[in-house]
Amino acid sequence: MTNMIAWEKDADGIVTLTMDDPGRGANTMNETFQRSFTETVERLVAEKDEIAGVVLTSAKKTFFAGADLNLISKATVADAPELTAQSMAFKSATRALETLGKPVVAAINGAALGGGLEIALACHRRIALDVKGSEIGLPEVSLGLLPGGGGVVRTVRMFGLQKALMEVLLQGQRRKPAAALEVGLVDELVADPAELIPAAKAWIKANPEAVQPWDVKGYKIPGGTPSNPKFAAMLPAFPANLRKQLKGAPMPAPEAIMAAAVEGSQVDVDNALRIETQYFVSLATGRRGS
């Protein structure tokens, strides 16, 4: 089986990875992608001494379209072990990518929603093309799901619990690139497609030692966690206000997102990713009804 992620190394040692699902008009989180992604990350790890950095981009009009809903909507409780294993395999690949020791840049050439943004969040920098029709966000909640590819864990660590929940996760806002820049989901915009890859490479050359903030010793989640008295004083109002907003509607996803975010904030990244997967699987398999 072929790898749908093209590998191209330039003279400076920067590898450009181009996602291009041969069977579809858009890249999705299907089996082909998951296998290709894992293989590609394994190769990056194996060859990292000869690599200066990585650019991740897409050959499609969009960057990445997110989960393959056909697969997820069919899941039942019996699929839990399989879904859990798949989710964790993807996450260990993203962890290997962000802890590679080399700068990794997502060159977001078009819409990055759901799983697409989650892959980009596992990169050290996100540069988006400011193109019409492009949208960036984690809209899983509107499908009754949660961002189960690290989106909860990483946005909480980027923005703090309150902002991640209110501005990204609980309502699943889709943002134009400029708005995504403003909220902090992307770091930089370029106007012209021809500038995208050069901008990514320029950042790599300027930041040869890139590391995620949460992998730096002494890192603290902005705004505090339940162990912080100030944050703890506000926390009980979170689920109460959620209940108030939902007016008793049987919608399990927002609660699961909030729970995964808060619980995950109290442990290390790897355990947080596990907790996120458990809540994701409970929603995907319908175990977590209302």
* 237 lies in the binding site for another protein (CB under 8 A): yes
Interface with another protein (CB under 8 A), residue from 52, 75, 88, 242: 242
* Window 201-230: residues binding another protein (CB under 8 A): 226-227, 229
* 248 lies in the binding site for another protein (CB under 8 A): yes
* 286 lies in the binding site for another protein (CB under 8 A): no
* 101 lies in the binding site for another protein (CB under 8 A): no
| Euclidean distance between CA atoms 223 and 16, whole angstroms | 36
* 239 lies in the binding site for another protein (CB under 8 A): yes
What does the block give as tokens for 182?
Answer: 């403003």
| Euclidean distance between CA atoms 290 and 47, whole angstroms | 48
Q: What is the total count of residues that contact another protein (CB under 8 A)?
A: 22
To another protein, the closest distance from the beta carbon of 223 in angstroms equals 15
| Alpha-carbon radius of gyration of the chain | 18
Interface with another protein (CB under 8 A), residue from 240, 250, 268, 289: 240
* Window 249-268: residues binding another protein (CB under 8 A): 255, 258-259, 262-263
Q: Which is nearer to another protein, 23 or 236 (CB)?
A: 236
Interface with another protein (CB under 8 A), residue from 23, 236, 250, 289: 236
* 179 lies in the binding site for another protein (CB under 8 A): no
To another protein, the closest distance from the beta carbon of 222 in angstroms equals 19
Q: For 67, phi and psi rounded to 5 degrees?
A: -65, 155
Q: Which residues in this chain contact another protein in the complex, by CB under 8 A?
A: 226-227, 229, 232, 235-245, 247-248, 255, 258-259, 262-263
